[in-house]
Amino acid sequence: MTLLNTFLFVFLLSTPYSHAQQVNGKNHGRNKLPEIGAAGFSALSIDKEQLIGNAMMKHLRASQPIVNDPVLIEYINDLGNRMVRNAQDVHYNFEFFLVNNKELNAFAFFGGHIGIHTGLITTAETESELASVVAHEISHVTQRHLARKMEAQNRNQPLTMAGMISGVLLTLINPTVGMAALSTSMAASQQASINYTRTNEKEADRVGIQLLANSGFDPMGAPNFFSKMAEQYRYKSKPPAMLLTHPLPESRISEARVRAQNFPARQIRASLQFELAKARLKARYEGNAQDNIKRYLIEIEKQRYVYKEAAQYGLAIAYFENENYEKSHEIIKSLLTKDQNNLFYIDLFTDLHIKVKNFPPILERLEKLNLLMPNNQVVALNYANALNEAENYQAAEILLQDFLLVQPNNFIAHDLLTDTYKKQNKMAMMHATKAEVFALLGAYPRAIDELQTGYNYADDKPLVKKRIKARIIQLQEQENKLKRLN
């Protein structure tokens, strides 16, 4: 069995439908670099890489705690794409996503998919430190390290790849378990893999630091973050996940510092958006509401913050989570008077008005914002949610349909539209849209079942039946594409 076939065989065996329902059912540079990004093509074509990457992304949606939070998704994609615009050898659109995990880890895989653990954001002290990790992972993708590693391993040890490939995806997500799986491979092959990985890491450091500088960030963010991680875990028996997949010997830290110092010193103002993202993660995804309220009150009193607005925002979320809606509203209303289009504030403002069922003010504000920022996911999804809660289902339906024309793979939008159709008793369309939710999880049999159920509800709607039948054929073809690769 070839290396690619082995990977696909292992990958296609796992389709965690029941767990999927559990998880998702809730609610320009100075240093010249070698042009080696095109390597790895003989092992894996760009088309196949994208196909496998999309399949892996569906698998992760179904099996990992992906953060389905439009505000944070918007933030991390804005940060990542600022650097992608300055990168070379970009063959496809990138997708950046967050995994709700305090472990310090980040990973890149086929087709421009980059996952960031939430612990990285809350641990980084500056946006340049966070950006350095994202730039590093972008460089792994543009230099096609995974495809090149597969090619080298297949050439050197073709008979030992099954054990190694079976741990690749697991290693990306859970390095402790994944590395244990990989360690069962033959010693010679394992050593070759380690050596190749070290070469990849140096190359990603070199490309990443230049990318960081070219994108307007402080290139010292990379060695600074490296040093903090190495020092923090120097004497710990259990290093963070990121140090297992991205080893940090002293030589690597020194080389990163020397390379960063080749760029002009840059004083960069602290990022409010970064601080708001940290506050949102800490107040909404970590700890409990009452403890978070106390912590933010102390931070504000003792002025232990980079931006007071971010500390106030964290406190407003903590109050909201503790159902102190009046206090939360007082803070967020004040913040909005100074920054009326800030999407972090708009999102919480929407949640507050929905909770107290005061729809006119938020619908008016979101309608204006939707004209100002058409197809922005934070605005569109909040607007649709508010329209649903206000029982204006037809307007919500039209809004979501238009949005999905632009962002057809938006999981939250499909989920919201499913609910919109259900509330209108449009059962054929409800099942058809629910099928898209399952398709985004890679659960093709479940998706096709939903479409067939929808087809049975559409007896008096010949056009709907025709569209559903066409979609069944499309999903069957997508499933068969993966099988043909194997």
Residue 218 known to be catalytic: no
Average pLDDT on 97-119 reads: 91
**Catalytic residue (one of 69, 129, 137, 397):** 137
Residues 255 and 327 in one domain: no
The whole-model pTM stands at 0.83
Look at residue 13 in the predicted model and tell me its pLDDT. Answer: 33
**Per-residue pLDDT at 38:** 45
Instruction: Answer for the pair 17, 441: CB distance below 8 angstroms, yes or no.
Output: yes
pLDDT tens by residue, 283-306:
999 999 999 999 999 999 999 999
Same domain, 327 and 470: no
Q: Which of the two residues, 203 and 339, has the higher pLDDT score?
A: 339
Residue ending a domain, among 261, 291, 317, is 261
pLDDT range class, residue 254, cuts 50, 70, 90:
confident
Residue 240 confidence class, pLDDT cut points 50, 70, 90: low
**Residue 374 is assigned to a structural domain of this protein:** no
Average pLDDT rounded to a whole number, residues 207-215: 94
Report the pLDDT value the prediction gives residue 326, as an integer from 0 to 100: 97
Residue 394 lies inside a defined structural domain of this protein: no
In a domain, residue 392? The reply is no
431 is in an annotated binding site: no
In sequence order, the 6+-apart residues with CB closer than 8 A to the CB of 378 are 70, 71, 74, 343, 346, 347
Instruction: Reduce the DSSP state of residue 375 to 3 states and report it.
Output: coil
* Total domains in the fold of the chain: 3
Residue 399 lies in a domain: no
Q: Is residue 179 part of a domain?
A: yes
Whether residue 349 lies inside any domain: the answer is yes
Read off the pLDDT band of 161 (50, 70, 90): very low
Query: How sure is the predictor about 237, in pLDDT bands with cuts at 50, 70 and 90?
Result: low
Instruction: Give yes or no for residue 14 having a pLDDT over 60.
Output: no
- Claim to verify: residue 97 and residue 201 sit in the same structural domain: yes
Q: Quick one: 216 and 93 in the same domain?
A: yes
pLDDT at position 179 is 38
pLDDT band at 244; cut points 50, 70, 90: low
Does residue 411 carry a pLDDT above 60?
A: yes
Residues 69 and 195 in one domain: yes
| Strand-pair category, 106-109 with 113-117 | antiparallel
Residue 465 within a domain: yes
Lowest-pLDDT range, 47-56, 69-78, 356-365? 47-56
* DSSP 8-state symbol, 409: T
Q: Is the pLDDT reported for residue 167 higher than 70?
A: no
User: What are 322-371's pLDDT values in tens digits?
Assistant: 999 999 999 999 999 999 999 999 999 999 999 999 999 999 999 999 99
Task: Verify that 78 and 131 share a domain, yes or no.
Answer: yes
Same domain (yes/no): 112, 11: yes
Higher-pLDDT residue of 182, 238: 238
Instruction: Tell me which of 164 and 60 has the higher pLDDT.
Output: 60
pLDDT band at 410 (very low <50, low <70, confident <90, very high): very high
- pLDDT band at residue 32 under the 50/70/90 scheme: very low
- Confidence grade of residue 36 (pLDDT, cut at 50, 70, 90): very low
pLDDT reported for residue 460: 86
Greatest mean pLDDT among 17-31, 175-189, 231-245 lies in 231-245
Q: Is 140 annotated as a binding residue?
A: yes
Q: Give the model's pLDDT for residue 176.
A: 44
Q: Is the pLDDT score of 43 beyond 80?
A: no
Asked if residue 417 lies in contact with residue 457, where contact means CB atoms within 8 angstroms, the answer is no
Q: What is the structure's pLDDT at 144?
A: 74
Q: How far apart, in whole angstroms, are the C-alpha atoms of residue 95 and residue 109?
A: 10
125 lies in the same domain as 167:
yes
- Among 144-148, 309-313, 445-449, 470-474, the range scoring the smallest mean pLDDT is 144-148
Structural domain includes residue 396: no
Domain range enclosing 352:
270-356
Give the pLDDT confidence score for residue 154 in this predicted structure: 57
Phi and psi at residue 92, in whole multiples of 5°? -165, 170
Among 206, 227, 261, the domain-final residue is 261
Mean pLDDT, residues 199-221: 90
Using an 8 Å Cβ cutoff, are 152 and 3 in contact? no
Mean pLDDT of the chain: 82
The answer to whether residue 87 scores a pLDDT higher than 80 is yes
Rounded to an integer, the average pLDDT of 433-462 is 95
Ligand-binding annotation for 246, yes or no, is no
* Domain shared by 248 and 274, yes or no: no
| 65, 165, 293 from 118: Cα distances, Å | 11, 26, 20
List all residues 6 or more positions away from 245 whose beta carbon is below 8 Å from its beta carbon.
105, 107, 171, 172, 175, 179
The packing angle between helices 308-321 and 272-285, to 10°, is 20
Alpha-carbon 335 to chain mean position: 27
Last residue of one domain, picked from the residues 356, 379, 394: 356
Annotated active-site residue in 69, 203, 205, 299: 205
**Is 330 a residue of the active site?**
no
Per-residue CA distances from 387 to 143, 320, 364, 375, 398 (Å): 45, 21, 11, 16, 11
Q: Quote the percentage of the chain above a pLDDT of 70.
A: 76
> Which helix (H) or strand (E) element contains residue 380?
helix 377-389
Domain check: are 164 and 236 in the same one?
yes
Would the pLDDT of 155 be above 50?
yes
Same domain? 140 vs 209 = yes
- Range of weakest confidence among 155-164, 202-211, 226-235, 373-382: 155-164
Based on the fold, state whether residues 96 and 221 are members of the same structural domain.
Answer: yes
